[in-house]
Amino acid sequence: MEQNIQVADAAARLDSLPLPEAETLFAALPDDVAAEVLFHLAPETKRALVRSTSAQRAAGLLRRLPADEAVEVVEDAGAEGERALSFMPPLAVREIRELLQYPPQTAGRLMTQRVAVVPGDVTAAGALQYLRESAASVETITTIYVAEGRRLIGVCSIRELLVARETSRMADVMIHNVVSVRPEDDQQEVARIIGRYDLPAVPVVDAGGTLLGIVTVDDVLDVLVEEFSEDYAELVGTDAAEMERRTPAQVAGLRLPWLLGTMGIELGAGVVIARFNHVLEQFILLASFMPVISAVSGNVGLQAAAIAVRGLDTGHIAIDRWREAVRRELATALTIAAAVGTTLGAVAIVWSGHTVFGLVVGAAMICAVVTAAFMGTVIPLVSKRLGFDPAATAGPFETALQDLIGFTVFLTLASRLSAWLR
């Protein structure tokens, strides 16, 4: 536990340092610590440190890691990682190559082949002895898998094994109905299965039921943290870890598309305001409520987008059931809209002294909130359907579109009722 804490702290420290200092510190770390730290680094830092390390040392560090972790390092390091493989024993390289054949972000890429496996005719006492002898070479001893040849037939937890009679056969102790995944399954689906069934690990099997490896809960936790960080970074159009390693010009290049796209849509809202300039000149008090409508509806839209993106990630929202997600969000939005619209309308009545003015402001707020919630839910769903990352299309674009539509509704209502507002 203490070493895990030290590794995590060292990785965080290296990620935060300028590259020359990070290289010097990494070079001074003992190989056993450096290997674990290397795996936990951000991809950009990992790539830079492998590049600054000799291929021989990099190969030695990879050999100290489990194959699934070594695969991630090789992939993040790019050409330098491939060069390090040439200095590794053929057997270790073959194990890494086998995992690399699976697509990124799948169960096959996440799994480890260091699995505790026994035949069904082994006794409980024999299985316990096997765990004692192989504890250092398997990923986890909380679960033992039962196989005939390599075909998975059952699973047994360490708790069930400890309370079983020593002479009981594993075929009689094991659970026959095994929850498993295929190597091509998406890593988010693997995370959902582990969470749904509260599993410490899930076995990965091929179409014939052959046990290929397991994905452990700690790997899934890394996936969830990584996915959340990526979604949040894309939602706001930046990634702090990535920005740290890029030049100011590169950072500007990554952020400008978001800002220019948002600016273009907001200019459309400006055109709408200019189109109804005569209304604002007659009723200048309308302008006082436009920022409030924009801010409140914008927050509702961002909340809806965040819920939609997260729901798509966790599987609580499915593309083929999009109507259910939209209907649920609109029902929530209508309740919110009624509350904030009534409140703002009442404020407008007191402020202006005109009931019709308050009705216009309240109705505009209701329309803007409902529109924002609708777009915040639909835009990520449409993006997912079209094959884009839903997190990358939410946020700023959604808020700008909401402003465009919200101001149009607000000023159109005010224009139509201008005679009553006098």
Three-state SS sequence of the chain:
CHHHHHHHHHHHHHHHCCHHHHHHHHHHCCHHHHHHHHHHCCHHHHHHHHHHCCHHHHHHHHHCCCHHHHHHHHHHHCHHHHHHHCCCCHHHHHHHHHHHCCCCCEHHHHCECCCCEECCCCEHHHHHHHHHHHCCCCCCCCEEEEEECCEEEEEEEHHHHHHCCCCCEHHHHCECCCCCECCCCEHHHHHHHHHHHCCCEEEEECCCCEEEEEEEHHHHHHHHHHHHHHHHHHHHCCCHHHHHHCCHHHHHHHHHHHHHHHHHHHHHHHHHHHHCHHHHHHCCCHHHHHHHHHHHHHHHHHHHHHHHHHHHHHCCCCHHHHHHHHHHHHHHHHHHHHHHHHHHHHHHHHHHCCHHHHHHHHHHHHHHHHHHHHHHHHHHHHHHHHCCCHHHHCCHHHHHHHHHHHHHHHHHHHHHCHHHHC
Residue showing tokens 């390289």: 93
pLDDT reported for residue 124: 95
Q: How far apart are CA 366 and CA 297, in angstroms?
A: 9
User: How many residues would you count in the chain?
Assistant: 422
Answer for the pair 317, 305: CB distance below 8 angstroms, yes or no: no
pLDDT at position 374 = 87
Domain ranges of the chain: 2-101, 117-216, 246-421
Instruction: Write down the pLDDT at residue 93.
Output: 92
The closest of 258, 349, 347, 356 to 296, measured between CA atoms, is 347
For position 204, what pLDDT does the model report? Answer: 97
One-letter amino acid of 132: R
The architecture CATH gives domain 246-421: Orthogonal Bundle (1.10)
pLDDT score at 244: 53
Strands 151-157, 211-216: pairing kind: unpaired
Averaged in consecutive runs of 10 residues, what is the pLDDT profile of the chain (422 residues)?
A: 64 88 91 91 89 93 90 89 91 91 90 93 95 89 92 94 94 94 91 88 95 90 66 50 59 67 76 73 72 82 80 72 85 92 91 83 86 83 71 61 72 65 53
Q: Maximum Cα–Cα distance for the chain, whole Å? A: 93
The fold adopted by the segment(s) 2-101 is MgtE N-terminal fold (1.25.60)
Record the tokens describing residue 275, joined without a space: 């189109």
Does pTM surpass 0.85? no
The domain made up of 117-216 is a member of CATH 3.10.580.10: yes
